[in-house]
Structures are given as C-alpha cells and as structure tokens.
Structure 1
Amino acid sequence: MKKNILITGSTDGIGKLTALKLATEGHSLFLHGRNPKKLEATIAELRKETNNKFIYGAVADFSDLQSVRKMAKRTNLELSKLDVLINNAGVFKSSKLVNEDGLDLRLTVNYLAPYLLTRELLPVINKAAAPRIINLSSAAQAPVSLAAIESTTKIGVQEGYAQSKLALTMWSFDFAKKQKDIDIIAVNPGSLLNTKMVKEAYGNHWSSADKGALILYDLAVSDEFDGVTGAYFDNDKGNPRGDFGKAHADAYNATKIEHLINTTDELLTRLGF
C-alpha cells in the first residue's frame, strides 16, 4: 500500500537516499530542506530518476522554531493523512553554537525541532491507519543538561550533539507510552556513515550511507515492524543490518524523562509554542 511519508533533512545524506528508495516504490513523499533551491533540485532529480511525480517539498530552518511551526501548519493543511514521519534532520558542526533565541543549536535542531514538529503534526498523523514515527538517534548519547536546554548554561559542540540525541531518544520512549496508536522507534542508523555531516565533523567514515538509508526504509514501511514501538534500533550491532538494543541508561529512567519533558514543555510555552 502506498503511503504519505515526510522525511526531514532529505536534500542529502541518508535522508535523500531513503527518499530515493521510497520514491522508487511509488510512495507519496514530502521532503524537507533548509535551502529552497537545493530542495527544488532534489525534488526534480528524484522525480526524474524514479518517474514518481508525487514528490513535494517543504522549506524550514530547524534552528528557528517559528519556521518549524509554519511548516507543520502548511503540512496539516496540505495532507489528508501522514502515514510515516522520519525525523532525520540534524546538525553537528556549525559556525554557530546558539540560535537567534540563544538556545543551543544542536539541541534545537536535533531535539526541540522534531519534538515541536511531531506535536504539531499529530492531527494528520492520527488520521493514518497505522502511523509510524522514526526518530534519528545516534551511538553518541550523553546525559542531558536541563540547564543547557533552557540556555542558562553553554555546552560544546560534541556535548550538544550527544545530549540532543539522548534527549530525542528519551522523548521517543515517553511519546510511545502516551501515543498508543502510533508506532515510534528511535534508531542509531550507524556510526560514521559516509555523509556530509560525518565528513565535516570527522573527515572519515566507517560505513556507506546506504547502510543508514536501508534501515530507515525498513523501519518506515516494512511489515516486519508493525506494532513495534518504544524501542531503540542499533544499526551498529550487525552487518549489513543491526538489531534492537539498549540506548543510554537515562532513556529508561522515568524520573529523568519526566524532568526532561516538563522542562521542554515549559520552555516551548515560554517561547510561545
């Protein structure tokens, strides 16, 4: 059955490769990008390569939460339902440590933006028969500083990235408990894949980007994962594909999760969301 699928951060890397695989099968795709021209070129390229005309785009800067909300509002108006949301967009290396609101850039793009986007898209997600949300975590996970989320303390690039990925995983588990009709999986797509982000951050890679795209494809549409929710898939565990495993211990700590979610909701409320 053909599905409506939204992939954030899909103009390059594993997001784009995943889009290619899904477009080849005729799914209706809604691709997100920060750069309008790059997004337009990606859509044209995939339409031509797959002969799938049902590929559309949405522009939003995930470091700007107002931009995220505007994207969500447009999506709610344009879609009758959303079967799959892949929260893939992320940042590691950047010339900026904070966004215009003074919030840590990595925590904003990698955690707060998908948190807000998903919450705002619930009207169309809940219209799908068996919706799925795939959240891009990482092997790099570190205890989350609530002060960093609230921007009352500053952290470094690697700390911000690792904390953002654990925060995303903790929220994924909490959200799965609260949203009984949505399957939600956090996934480490594989460490040091051959992507632009990895090249900029480390200069080398361990595995092909296709390794990450293959697991995102499977998690998005394979019947194998029907009904699987509140789980962490570790694509480093095997070759060519990993298996379910354990995330950082904090992802299973109910008290820490509650503090994280409360802090996040209070921050978004203060910002007008």
Structure 2
Amino acid sequence: MNIPVAHTDPRPLHGKVVLVTGATQGMGRDLARHLAGDGATLLLHGRDPGRLQEAVDAVRAAAPGAAVRGYLADLADLDQVREMAARVIDAEPRLDVLVNNAAAGGGSEPARRDVSRQGHELRFAVNHLAPYALIRALLPLLTASAPARVVNVASIGQTPVDFDDVMLERGYEGLDAYCRSKLAMIMSTFDLAEELADRGVTVNAVHPAHLMDTPGVRAYGLTPVVGTAEGVAPTARLITDPALAGVTGRYFDRFTDARAHDEAYDPAARARLAEITERLTRVDGGSAGAGAGRRRPGE
C-alpha cells in the first residue's frame, strides 16, 4: 500500500504575506522579486498606477505562480497612507512583514524645499511620518499575525534633527533633509520596538548598501557605487533569518549590528521627536510649523 508523503514547502516565506513600499523601482523592485522567489505573497506599493502594474507583472513573471497584489498610494499624503492601510486590512487575512522602503531622496534641485499634502517638509513626511503612520495603521493586522516583523530601510547618512527648525525652513538642502529624516526613522524604530516588544512584532532599521544605483542617487547627481541587488540580501536577512526572530530595536549597517547616530540613543531627543511625530500623524493633526514651500511635483 502506497502512503502519500506530505511535502513541506522549503521556501522560508511560504505562507507569509509581505508588504513592500516603494516597490516599483530600485531596490524595492529587486527585493520584491527576491521575496516572491522565497515563497511570499507580495503586496507591492507604488504611487504611479502604470509603474505599479508593471512591477506587479514583472514580479509575477520572475516568480511564476507567486501571489502578487498592488496597492496604490502617495506617501506624501498621510490620508492616502491611512486609506491604503485600511484597504490592506480589509483585503488581506494576515500581514507577516512590513518593509518601509519608499523614500524621497535629495532631489534634482536640492535647494528647493517641497512639502507634502499636509504641508510638512517632503523628506521628513515621506521618509519618517509616512512609515510611522503606516506602522500604526497596520498594527492590528501585524499583531494578529504575530510573530511579525517591521523592517525600516534607513541610511548610513544620518544628521541630528533640529528641534528648533524641524521642517527646515532655513537654509534648506535636500540631502541634509534626507539624512535628518532617516535618523528620525531610526529613532522611531527604537521607540516602536520597545512599545511592541511584548506584542510579537519586531522593528529594526537597516542601511542596505552605500550609493546604490537608484533614481534618487542619480537625480541628486551622485555616482552609484553598487547595483541595487547589493541592498537586497541585508534587507531580506531581516525578513527571513530565523536567528533574528526575536531581535528588535536594532540598526544594521548591512549585515552588522551597528550603532546609529548618538541622537538616536538620547531619551530626551527621542521623546521630543515622538511628541512631534504623534501630533503630525494623528488623523486630526495639523501642519503647525510646516511653513511655506512648494508641493511635491504632480500634486
């Protein structure tokens, strides 16, 4: 008598659902293809409908049989961030991993100060406020799916937040704004990790690679040093490595558990940032302190 043998899918993300923001280009798109190959159900975020559909089709082609769904939102609009989170919660039975990868870089006109839909400095809004708001909005699904992981794609470029000019209304420069926003992201990573430690959700930040060949790097006028594939492995490790299952509240420089900028470990600075972040991301939050500026192109 032949007894059927049960086969377990050996892929590390089989049965897992992963949301990747900024998945229509650069490292985000490469990461999505890699994770689909690892068996994940992929939720891809983008802000351009055409590019989002192209990314979904490309990942499906690279991993035949993979479940891939697109979610449209402009992260420069906190209302759209929350609306996307609501759509994910309504449509998806679980969410095992959230990768906050989307970013606004230094820009092709670094002296031009753009602002978000809510009137916040653009880099601070897209690189810090939006990921924070998305984590908060998706927490019910993440905790229900625990153990779950949040991976914040940060940067080795980190500049202290100026609490007297958080929205950088004086002496604006795009790369400086980017570096301040990425340190803010790391600071909130540490706070959220402490808050969620007993809820089965880990939160870590990673600098995936230096000067990858991305549109943002080229737009600023920098010369790429490595391809985007170089950033995939360190990021994917935080998603799949069983040894990191309980690791939370860390900043990784690629594969190394590293120390972020000193301000990330300053309790007073973290508390000030947390108050500002909560105030600006709550549903009825205003744009106090945002000042004048130009809105994101196309808005």
Q: TM-score, normalised by structure 2?
A: 0.85
Unaligned segments of structure 2, at least 5 residues: 1-13, 288-299
Once the two structures are TM-superposed, the CA of residue 152 in structure 1 deviates from its matched residue by 6.4
Once the two structures are TM-superposed, the CA of residue 94 in structure 1 deviates from its matched residue by 5.7
Which protein is bigger by CA-based radius of gyration?
2
Distance 1:52 1:145 in 2: 48
Report which structure shows greater RCO (CA 8 Å, sep ≥6). 2
- 1:199–1:205 CA contact under 8 A, matched in 2: yes
Provide the secondary structure at the position in 2 that maps to 1:146. Answer: coil
Q: What pairs up with 1:6-21 in 2 under 5 angstroms?
A: 6-21=19-34
- 1:147–1:153 CA contact under 8 A, matched in 2: no
* CA deviation string 1:172-196 (max 9, x = no partner): 0011000012111110111101222
Aligned length: 267
Return closer, same or farther for 1:94/1:76 CA change in 2, 3 Å cut-off.
farther
The question of 1:220 aligning with 2:233 is answered no
Which residue of 188, 192, 196 maps to 1:175? 192
- 1:194–1:207 CA contact under 8 A, matched in 2: yes
Larger mean CA deviation between 4-13 and 182-191 belongs to 182-191
Match of 1:238 in 2: none
- 2:108–2:219 CA contact under 8 A, matched in 1: no
Q: What pairs up with 1:104-253 in 2 under 5 angstroms?
A: 104-149=121-166, 155-180=172-197, 181-235=200-254, 242-253=255-266
Distance 1:203 1:30 in 2: 31
- 2:104–2:123 CA contact under 8 A, matched in 1: yes
- 1:72–1:117 CA contact under 8 A, matched in 2: yes
Once the two structures are TM-superposed, the CA of residue 148 in structure 1 deviates from its matched residue by 4.1
- 1:46–1:52 CA contact under 8 A, matched in 2: no
RMSD: 1.8
Match of 2:45 in 1: 32
Unaligned segments of structure 1, at least 5 residues: 236-241
Provide the secondary structure at the position in 2 that maps to 1:86. Answer: strand
Give the share of equivalent positions with the same residue, in percent.
Answer: 34
Provide the secondary structure at the position in 2 that maps to 1:103. Answer: coil
Distance 1:203 1:166 in 2: 21
Which residue of 275, 288, 291 maps to 1:262? 275
Q: TM-score, normalised by structure 1?
A: 0.92
Distance 2:165 2:144 in 1: 35
Provide the secondary structure at the position in 2 that maps to 1:192. Answer: coil
Distance 1:102 1:94 in 2: 20
Provide the secondary structure at the position in 2 that maps to 1:233. Answer: strand
- 2:78–2:281 CA contact under 8 A, matched in 1: no
The amino acid of 1:132's aligned partner reads: R
Distance 2:108 2:270 in 1: 28
Distance 1:109 1:116 in 2: 10
Once the two structures are TM-superposed, the CA of residue 151 in structure 1 deviates from its matched residue by 6.9
Distance 1:148 1:113 in 2: 19
Provide the secondary structure at the position in 2 that maps to 1:185. Answer: strand
- 1:30–1:57 CA contact under 8 A, matched in 2: yes
